[in-house]
Each structure stands twice: as C-alpha cells, then as structure tokens.
C-alpha cells in the first residue's frame, strides 16, 4: 500500500483587532510552521486537511481570502486536537478561524459552541480524496443546522438523516433529496411519509416489519430504492453503548441468524421496493481499519449468496461511519487514507474471487467531520475544594454535553484569556445541573489559581453536543457561532427563557 501525505489547511496572515462590533472581522497572527502529520492520518484537528486545488472565485470562502494548499500544525502539543486554524495570542488567548475566543465569549455569551467553517470544509474534501468514486454521506445526527447543510452540499457530499425533522431541515435549506439517505431502527409513519413525499434517494430498512409498511406507503406506479441494514457480527467502537455491529443491540438484521437473508427475500417480493444494496454500521469511535475489512468480507459473502439464490447483483454497498477522533492529545485517530485504500483493495479482491462486479461504495462520516471543527466556551462560576478534590463549576454542563455522563468521554479543557504562572493542579470540571454525574472533565490539569469568571475552552465539541442537548433545569441551549477568515457570525441563536415559556401553553 502506498502512503500519501495530505496537505494542510491554511493559517491566515492577518492582524488582531481588539474589540469588534458584530459587523467587524476579528483577526490574529498565525502560528509558526511545524512538520506535517504522518501520511494518511485524519487528525482530530490541529492536523486538519485541505483541498489540493484552489477555490473557484465564487466559492463562499473565497470572498474573504484565498485558501492556500498548505497549513502548518499548531505550535504546541495541546493544540494538536484543536481546529487547524487555532493560534495562540497575547494574554494566553486563543484564536480559531482568525477570531479570538475571548471576543466570541464577550460578544455572544457563554456557554457557546464555536464552529470553524474552513475545518468542516477541509474535512469534507479529505473524505472525497480518500474515497474517490464513492458516495460520502455526512451523518446529520452529529450536528445539523442550515449552514451545515449548505457547507456539505457545496463540498459535494450527500446527507444521512434519521428523522423527518432532519430531512425537512435539509430539503428546506436546498439540499437535493435524491442525495439523502434515511436511517432509523424505528421510523415513524411521519418519517416515511416525509421521505416518500420529498423523494429521498435511499431508505435503509432496519427491520422486517418495516418492509410491508414502507411498500404500502409508496405511491402506485413508483418504486422506492432501499438498502438492507445488515448486522455482520463484528464488535467495534469506543464504548459498549456505541457498538452497533453485534447481535445484542437494536439496529439492523442479523447475518448469523438468517434475518438479513429473510428480509432480502421479502423486499424482492415487493414490486414497489427496489433493493439496490446492503448497509452496515459497526459503531462509533473506531480507530483501526481491521473491523471495516472484516465487514467487507462478510458482506461480499452475502452479496455472493444473493446472486446465487436470487440471480441478482446488488450495485451498492454502504459501510456506514464511526470513524474515531481524538478528544485528548495523544489519543489514536483513524488513518483515513489507509482506510480508503484498504477497503477498496479488499472490496476489489473479494468481488473478483466471488465473480462479482465491485459495487459502488458509500460511507457516512459525521463526528470525524464536525467534531474536531468545534469548540465550546464556558465561564467558571465557582471553585470548591473539598478534601483532596477541587471542583471547577461552569455555566453549562450535561444539558449541552451529556456525552461524559453517557459514555465516559474525556475532554481536555483549557484556560484562555488570562496569563498565569500558577502550577497546574488536578481538578474536575463540573456542570451547573442537579446531578452528581454532571461532570464535563474529570481529573484534568488546570492552573492552580483557577477562579470564578475565568474562561474555559473545550475542543472537539462539534459533534453530538447541540444535537444531544436537553432542556434540563430549563437553562436554554447554547448558540452556535461560525468562525472563518477572521469573521464570526451567528448560525443558531441561544434558546431563551421566552422560547421555553412559549412551548408551555398553561393550565
């Protein structure tokens, strides 16, 4: 297998201005250059990826400044998991997308999600380069808003949605429904009606009971293209709650017990359904290639049996997503180019051995595109020292990030906006909610003089934060601010008390 070095997204040579108005760009000096990452690596942020080609004149980013094809890494190791545009400023501030994070916090308040638009776009392009000729569907469940829909469409990706809500938002934002795939282990009648009304490209069948229900809903004289979600019996993923390739969870149809084969026969008997391929999803936070290769082998075996028993050749194979990213410096990430090379080689070799044409490949990255592009900002509300423990409480918590409580995810918060010479101490960053499990970052190192009013920034916060946010304690969900080329703009406004009260219609 050959190794290729991926080019880096740009830093921006701009100047720092102190106090922007909402319409004023905020800019900062770039970090110094350091060597590129290892070949083929899809890093979690500081090693982010860009396109090999210049942007066209009408590209949304070209109106700010051109994007060169190289970008240095962050100048210190802790920035390795930050967006590639992250640059240290004076007074221990940090800029992302050319915008000082302290000024984002001052302008938009906290908690707040910050999303680096260029990082999202570069990661979309990296997937297209790593999987030439394949369909890349962005997994909307990671994070979705109207701007994200536009970015994904403009970068040439499809979209993977899981509900009528995600679907309607995408289509109403101009996304072509033919490039959308609908998932879900228990699709509601409203989900299916919306998919058929809007004309989604594919519906992934997840249970045998869904087959007749979907077929009955398809208008007479038309056919809906479908995939069968197969459970290949492969355990992969960073936590038991996010492993979906085994028979002991709710998704898909088992290969081992014959459920998948039975569903295939049932779909083929429905004239209003057109079976075009197989689908599988192994789990999330997978950082090695091996599970995907095992899945390819098992699915090729099923494709061969389908050809033998039914005399048909299915033209598509969707391997889902689950590509792991690092939440702390030094954690492993999935080698994207190696993944693409080895999957294509395994698929070509296996199909040749089985006498099958190579199906069109599809993948569904979500976290690996959105996660490393995001940062969340918090204000410290209190510092409490109890025995041997120090608790740093912030103005957010499990309502804007339930993932530490759900999966034990470990984050790496950083103090920004204040210079200190205090030695670091072990502390636990906790939220403001009435739960002992409301812990955002356990046993992390922060300066020993951490105090109320300080600003903390947490990287790798672009996926499964706002999309999983709740209304717990009625604190309101944070806003999303896009930063790029020294400009900051609001994408999703903060949920207000008025928003919450308007939904409560009274006695």
Q: With 80 as the cut, is the pLDDT of residue 17 above it?
A: no
Per-residue pLDDT band at 15 (split at 50, 70, 90): very low
Q: Helix, strand, coil proportions of the chain in percent (round to 5)? A: 30, 20, 50
The DSSP letter of residue 186 is T
pTM: 0.83
Better pLDDT: 365 or 30 = 365
Distance between CA 343 and CA 337 in Å, rounded?
10
Q: What is the mean pLDDT of residues 270-275?
A: 97
Q: Specify the pLDDT at position 254.
A: 83
Task: Report, as residue numbers or ranges, the catalytic residues.
Answer: 434
User: Over the stretch 57-85, which tens digit does the pLDDT of each residue have?
Assistant: 443 333 333 333 333 333 346 689 999 99
Q: What is the mean pLDDT of residues 83-91?
A: 93
The proportion of the chain whose per-residue pLDDT surpasses 90, expressed as a percent, equals 74
Mean pLDDT is lowest, of 190-199, 277-286, 469-478, for 277-286
Strand, coil or helix: what is 100? strand
What pairing do the DSSP bridges indicate for beta strands 202-205 and 99-100?
unpaired
Alpha helices, DSSP H, located in 58-145: 101-108, 117-130
Closest CA to 314 of 302, 325, 324: 302
Distance between CA 432 and CA 461 in Å, rounded?
18
Sign of CA dihedral 24, 460, 340, 177: negative
Distance between CA 34 and CA 72 in Å, rounded?
6
């Amino acid at each position: 297998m050959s190794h290729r070095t991926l080019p880096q997204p740009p830093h921006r040579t701009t100047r720092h201005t102190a106090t922007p108005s909402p319409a004023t760009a905020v800019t900062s000096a770039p970090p110094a250059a350091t060597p590129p990452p290892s070949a083929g690596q899809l890093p979690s942020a500081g090693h982010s990826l860009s396109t090999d080609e210049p942007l066209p004149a009408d590209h949304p980013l070209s109106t700010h400044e051109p994007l060169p094809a190289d970008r240095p890494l962050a100048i210190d190791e802790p920035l390795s998991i930050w967006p590639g545009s992250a640059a240290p400023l004076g007074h221990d501030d940090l800029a992302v997308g050319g915008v000082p994070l302290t000024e984002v916090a001052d302008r938009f308040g906290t908690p707040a999600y910050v999303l680096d638009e260029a990082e999202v776009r570069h990661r979309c392009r990296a997937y297209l380069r790593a999987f030439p000729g394949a369909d890349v569907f962005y997994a909307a469940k990671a994070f979705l808003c109207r701007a994200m829909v536009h970015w994904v469409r403009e970068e040439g990706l499809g979209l993977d949605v899981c509900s009528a809500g995600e679907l309607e938002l995408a289509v109403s934002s101009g996304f072509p429904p033919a490039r959308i795939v609908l998932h879900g282990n228990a699709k509601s009648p409203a989900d299916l009606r919306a998919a058929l009304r809007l004309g989604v490209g594919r519906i992934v069948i997840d249970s045998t009971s869904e087959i007749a229900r979907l077929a009955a809903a398809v208008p007479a004289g038309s056919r809906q293209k479908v995939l069968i979600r197969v459970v290949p019996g492969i355990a992969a993923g960073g936590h038991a709650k996010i492993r979906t390739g085994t028979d002991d969870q709710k998704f898909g149809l088992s290969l081992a017990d014959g459920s998948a084969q039975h569903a295939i026969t049932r779909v083929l008997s429905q004239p209003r359904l057109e079976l075009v391929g197989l689908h599988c999803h192994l789990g999330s936070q997978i950082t090695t290639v091996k599970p995907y290769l095992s899945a390819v082998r098992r699915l090729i075996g099923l494709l061969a049996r389908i050809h033998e028993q039914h005399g048909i050749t299915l033209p598509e194979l969707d391997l889902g997503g689950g590509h792991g990213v690092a939440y702390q410096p030094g954690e492993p990430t999935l080698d994207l180019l190696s993944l693409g090379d080895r999957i294509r080689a395994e698929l070509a070799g296996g199909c040749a051995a089985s006498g099958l044409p190579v199906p069109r490949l599809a993948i569904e990255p979500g976290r690996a595109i959105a996660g490393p592009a995001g940062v969340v900002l918090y204000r410290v509300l209190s510092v409490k020292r109890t025995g041997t423990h120090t608790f740093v409480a912030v103005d957010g918590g499990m309502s804007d990030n339930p993932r530490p409580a759900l999966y034990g995810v470990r984050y790496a918060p950083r103090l920004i906006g204040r210079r200190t010479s205090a030695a670091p101490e072990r502390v636990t960053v906790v939220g403001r909610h009435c739960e002992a499990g409301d812990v955002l970052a356990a046993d992390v190192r922060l300066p020993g003089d951490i105090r109320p009013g300080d600003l903390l920034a947490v990287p790798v916060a672009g996926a499964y934060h706002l999309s999983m946010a709740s209304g717990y304690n009625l604190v309101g969900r944070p806003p999303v601010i896009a930063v790029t080329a020294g400009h900051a703009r609001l994408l999703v406004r903060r949920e207000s008390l008025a928003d919450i009260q308007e939904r409560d219609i009274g006695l």
